[in-house]
Amino acid sequence: MLDMKFLRENPELVKENIRKKFQDEKLPLVDEVIELDGKNREIRKEADALRANRNKVSKGIGALMAQGKREEAEAEKVKVTQFSERLSECEKLETEYADKIREIMMVIPNIIDPSVPIGKDDSQNVEIEKFGEPVVPDFEIPYHTEIMERFCGVDMNAAGSVAGNGFYYLMGDIARLHSAVLSYARDFMIDRGFTYCIPPYMIRRRVVEGVMSFAEMDAMMYKIEGEDLYLIGTSEHSMIGKFINTVTPEADLPQKLTSYSPCFRKEKGAHGIEERGVYRIHQFEKQEMIVVCKPEESPKYFDVLWKNTVDFFRSLDIPVRTLECCSGDLADLKVKSLDVEAWSPRQKKYFEVGSCSNLGDAQARRLGIRVQGEDGKRYLAHTLNNTCVAPPRMLIAFLENNLQADGSVLIPKALQMYMGGKTVLIPKK
């Protein structure tokens, strides 16, 4: 969410940013919110004057009564009543204007970084760099659920009977592999200097509204019926929420946290064959990372975060690439975002396994996350987040890239200690 003063002083810049994000339908909102802000400031000024006059007249009434000037005192009481009635009207208007201003400001997109490529949708994202050599073996690689079934490692049918489409049972070596990846990711991030955290898996609406747009909330979040609680779609929301209405001393920054959590998502809409199986599901687990830092340091930590994911996947012998998200593919709160994609030998292309985002001060403004400088002045922090790993989707890349011609799957050295020393998985079918 933008600062109202910034928008008021830079309306054309805000409009140009809206055009860069191909959201021209939002252009009238800039003038509308400026007009509302003007009305709100005028009514606030009138309310302040009414309070001052009411207080002044109220103090004089006692003096008039003491002097025996009852009629004059009664006339002043009428003025006080009139002041109070008008003040009540002004306060009601103030609330209405403030609510409408906040509603509009919540949908006006954040100012994107100058380095962000301009494009309408994800088809215009820009490849930045590849890491590792993509390999297509000389044998056929089955669909990922077929590989898992050879290890008696997945049961989608039973999960469908129990919970419906978009759920799964992982079994045996595949389930163990899933847990091993998360355990390794936890230790990997701790070794990178991040504090390990297990956050709440439900958050209040106040936090949801602080960390994401309304459109994202409707598309992603599961609401707990009868409660002011939502199941988290990603743990960064819960972790950023940890800092709501806080003031952190500058010397205590950056705050670097890594979290494990289950995640729950509606995943609305129809999906193609490549997004079935355990690719696009309603429940999954993730190792996440966030940073809360000083504004001037957020570009540096943006690079730190995405490099962590690249290094993690490369340590498991999985080729990856990074893609800069174009303007039209950025969620409204984001200043800059980069996707990490893993190589799929079966599809002979890359697919998304993580997303790194710099949100500037947007979340901090909504949630009241402030920093106290050495000079005593307070300012808004910057927040960033990135996925380290999110199995079971990551298992697709792992199984495809480590599958052998005989159907076995090699276990990279980094993961072997989490798999009880196993160096290879042998199929049961």
Residues 138 and 66 in one domain: no
81 assigned to some structural domain = yes
117 assigned to some structural domain = no
Q: Which of 40, 71, 105 is the last residue of a domain?
A: 105
259 assigned to some structural domain = yes
Listed as own residue / partner, the contacts of 341-345 with beta carbons closer than 8 Å and 24 or more positions apart are 342/313, 342/318, 342/394, 342/397, 342/401, 343/132, 343/134, 343/135, 343/318, 343/319, 343/397, 343/401, 344/396, 344/397, 344/400, 345/134, 345/135, 345/136, 345/137, 345/141, 345/400, 345/401, 345/403
- Per DSSP, the residues of 169-223 read EE-HHHHHHHHHHHHHHHHHHHHTTPEEE---SEE-HHHHHHHS-HHHHHHHPEE
| Amino acid 41: pLDDT | 95
Residues 223 and 368 in one domain: yes
- CATH of residue 32's domain is 1.10.287.40
Residues 172 and 90 in one domain: no
Residues 20 and 90 in one domain: yes
Give yes or no for a cis peptide into 295 (omega within 30° of 0): no
Pull the structure tokens for residue 36: 């509302």
Amino acid at 299: P
316 assigned to some structural domain = yes
Residues 363 and 251 in one domain: yes
| Amino acid 237: pLDDT | 95
115 assigned to some structural domain = no
- CATH of residue 276's domain is 3.30.930.10
Residue 339 has phi, psi (to 5 degrees) of -95, 145
Residues 319 and 411 in one domain: yes
Flag whether the pTM goes above 0.85: yes
| Amino acid 268: pLDDT | 63
- CA-based radius of gyration for the chain: 28
110 assigned to some structural domain = no
Residues 337 and 416 in one domain: yes
Q: Which of 80, 105, 130 is the last residue of a domain?
A: 105
Residues 74 and 146 in one domain: no
Give kind and range of the element (H or E) at residue 164.
none
**Listed residue (203, 212, 199, 201) closest to 366, CA to CA:** 212
Residues 61 and 94 in one domain: yes
| Amino acid 273: pLDDT | 54
Distance CA 276, CA 166 (A): 8
Q: Which of 51, 76, 105 is the last residue of a domain?
A: 105
**Structural domain boundaries, residue 44:** 4-105
111 assigned to some structural domain = no
Residues 64 and 153 in one domain: no
Residues 381 and 340 in one domain: yes
Domain count, the chain: 2
Per-residue pLDDT of the chain (429 residues; tens, 9 = 90+): 899 999 999 999 999 999 999 999 999 999 999 999 999 999 999 999 998 988 888 888 877 777 888 888 888 888 888 988 999 999 999 999 999 999 999 999 999 999 999 999 999 999 999 999 999 999 999 999 999 999 999 999 999 999 998 899 999 999 999 999 999 999 999 999 999 999 999 999 999 999 987 777 777 899 999 999 999 999 999 999 999 999 999 999 999 999 999 999 987 654 555 567 888 889 999 999 999 999 999 999 999 999 999 999 999 999 999 999 999 999 999 999 999 999 999 999 999 999 999 999 999 999 999 999 999 999 999 999 999 999 988 999 999 999 999 999 999 999 999 999 999 999 998
114 assigned to some structural domain = no
Residues 185 and 47 in one domain: no
β-sheet with 378-380: strand ranges across: 246-249, 369-372, 378-380
| Amino acid 242: pLDDT | 97
